[in-house]
Amino acid sequence: MNNDDRRPNHKRHPDGHWFDELRIRTVPRFKTSELSGDEWRISAHVEFVFKGHVVHEEHFHNVETALRFLPHVEVLAREGSREGDPARRVCEIEKEACDQPGCAEKSVARYWLKEEFERGHLLHADEWKYHRAYRQFCTRHLKRGDSDREDCDENYEPDGDIGPALYGFWRVSGSPSWDELRDEERAFYREQARRKLENVDVDKALAVITERLRAEEERLRDVALTKEGPDAAE
Q: Is the pLDDT of residue 106 over 60?
A: yes
Find, among 135, 170, 131, the residue nearest to 150 by Cα: 135
CA–CA distances in Å: residue 212 to residues 36, 60, 98: 59, 42, 14
Q: How many CA atoms lie within 13 A of 41 on its CB side?
A: 11
Amino acid at 119: R
To the question of pTM greater than 0.75 for the whole model, the response is no
Q: How many CA atoms lie within 13 A of 36 on its CB side?
A: 6
What would the pLDDT profile of 146-195 be if each residue is shown by its tens digit? 889 999 989 998 887 666 655 544 443 344 455 555 666 656 655 655 55
Domain boundary assignment for the chain: 7-15+101-218, 21-94
Give the bridge partners for 42, in sequence order: 28
